[in-house]
Amino acid sequence: MSTFWSIWVTVIVLGTVFGCWWLLLATRKSQVSDSETERTTGHSFDGIEEYDNPLPKWWFYLYVATCIFALGYLALYPGLGNFKGLLGWTAVNQWEAEVASADEKYGEIYAQYGQTPVIELAKDEDALKIGQRLFANNCAVCHGSAARGQVGFPNLTDDDWLWGGTPDAILETLRNGRMGNMPAKGVMPNMNAAQVDQVVNHVLSFSGREKDAAAAEAGEAVFAQACAACHGADGKGMQALGAPNLTDNIWLYGSNYEWIKETVLHGRQNEMPAQSGRLSSDQIQILAAYVYSLSN
Ligand code: HEC
Ligand code: HEC
């Protein structure tokens, strides 16, 4: 906030508090008047007159206390333009303090699980409950609350793995993230339209769904040249590269001719973000056990 706006805000805030104070004192009447004319406001509605009695004491003092409280609050907390308040409170440091106290409270529970091997942890009901909550907060946006994924985001419950389903592979995925990279036309940038059709048919033939048997057969050579380096000669994939198994009829993207053609023509880039900067290693251990438990 610039100095001008800071002063502007300060003047308005303090002006309001003192204005309320002034209004109270200026209109205050401390005693019941003796004279009959001064005891009423002077208004008369259908013969009914309104008394002009002093404010009840409790009300008066409550009002004064409110003004004093407001000034005290403004001295301690930010509220007057750029003035930070004597306590130095900010939303960020309050949040940090809460995180620190949560770490103190839950850190021990997490630590106890953090030392347990994933396979053992995956049998621990309490750990899995924590894992489910961590998953809902950190992973469900992409993988879905039931971890079944959606187009481009793998299903974690089906025991079909891009990068591997062993505890170590899952831990590696969570800690450091994964970059799936399928180049357009594989490693055959000069692939022509007929060859694209052939190789797509060949991929479909892995799950017995080719549209054109002759093309699918011709696609075998194209596949060997352009695709096998990553997906394997038999199309069963390669977890070291995150290259999916194309023979199991489980698809990260669509399964029909058009989707596969799209993948071949334009490639696919996909990222699982690394979690080690966001979550503690104990939390990652618990999540790995949760993910492991979904398909074991
Ligand atoms: C921003 C979206 C996003 C978030 C958040 C996310 N993931 Fe992922 N995750 C992905 C994508 C995309 C992939 C697939 C990467 C690829 O295609 O190679 C993936 C892959 C994975 C894999 C590997 C699956 C396999 O078949 O090998 C695991 C395990 C996984 N995620 C678990 C998690 C967990 C646990 C969390 C929560 C801490 C999480 N993910 C959070 C997007 C996300
Ligand atoms: C450099 C390695 C590499 C080569 C070469 C390659 N792919 Fe891929 N392919 C991948 C990776 C990695 C993925 C996963 C992309 C992702 O995670 O989004 C993938 C994904 C796919 C998919 C999507 C699978 C699904 O489950 O939806 C299809 C289909 C596919 N590739 C077919 C091919 C064909 C056909 C070729 C040859 C023309 C080929 N790939 C060449 C690495 C490769």
The domain that contains 136 carries what CATH number? 1.10.760.10
Residue 108, token pair as written in the block? 């021990």
- Asked if residue 138 lies in contact with residue 275, where contact means CB atoms within 8 angstroms, the answer is yes
Ligand number nearest to the C-alpha of 171: 1
Per-residue model confidence (pLDDT) at position 33: 67
- For residue 198, how far is its CA from the centre of ligand 2 (angstroms)? 15
Same domain, residue pair 169 and 191 = no
57 alpha carbon – ligand 1 mean position (Å)? 65
- Same domain for 228 and 289? no
Total structural domains within the chain: 3
Q: CB of 178 within 8 A of CB of 164?
A: no
pLDDT digits (tens, 9 = 90+) for 148-193: 999 999 999 999 999 999 999 999 999 999 999 999 999 999 999 9
169 and 49 fall within a common domain: no
Q: Are 263 and 219 within one domain? A: yes
On whether residue 86 sits in a domain, the answer given is no
pLDDT of residue 151: 95
How much is the average pLDDT of 254-270?
A: 96
Testing ligand 2's pocket by substitution, the residue of 195, 223, 231, 261 carrying the most ligand atoms inside 8 A of its CB is 231
Q: Which domain-ending residue is among 20, 41, 76? A: 76
Alpha-carbon span 114 to 284, nearest angstrom:
8
Pocket of ligand 2 (CB under 6 A): 162, 180-183, 185-187, 199, 203, 226-227, 229-231, 241-244, 246, 251-253, 260, 263-264, 268, 270
pLDDT of residue 41: 77
Which residue's CA is the nearest one to ligand 2's atom 31? 182
Atom 31 of ligand 1, residue of closest alpha carbon:
272
Q: What is the pTM of this model?
A: 0.76
Expressed in angstroms and rounded, the spacing between residue 153 Cα and the centre of ligand 1 is: 7
Q: Given pLDDT bands bounded at 50, 70 and 90, which one contains residue 37?
A: low
For a mutational test of ligand 2's pocket, the pick from 263, 269, 270, 271, i.e. the residue with the most ligand atoms closer than 8 A to its C-beta, is 263
d(CA 155, CA 153): 7
Q: Would residue 159 count as lying in a domain?
A: yes
Q: How far is CA 66 from the centre of its chain?
A: 40
What's the whole-number mean pLDDT along residues 8-28?
92
Nearest to 289, CA basis, from 163, 156, 161, 94:
156
Q: Do 105 and 165 share a structural domain?
A: yes
Residue 259: domain span: 181-272
pLDDT tens for 203-254 read: 999 999 999 999 999 999 999 999 999 999 999 999 999 999 999 999 999 9
Q: What is the mean pLDDT of the chain?
A: 93
Euclidean distance between CA atoms 117 and 220, whole angstroms: 43
Instruction: Name the burial class of residue 26, with classes exposed (0-12), middle (13-18) and buried (19+) by CB atoms within 10 angstroms of its CB.
Output: exposed
Instruction: Note whether 163 and 204 are same-domain residues.
Output: no
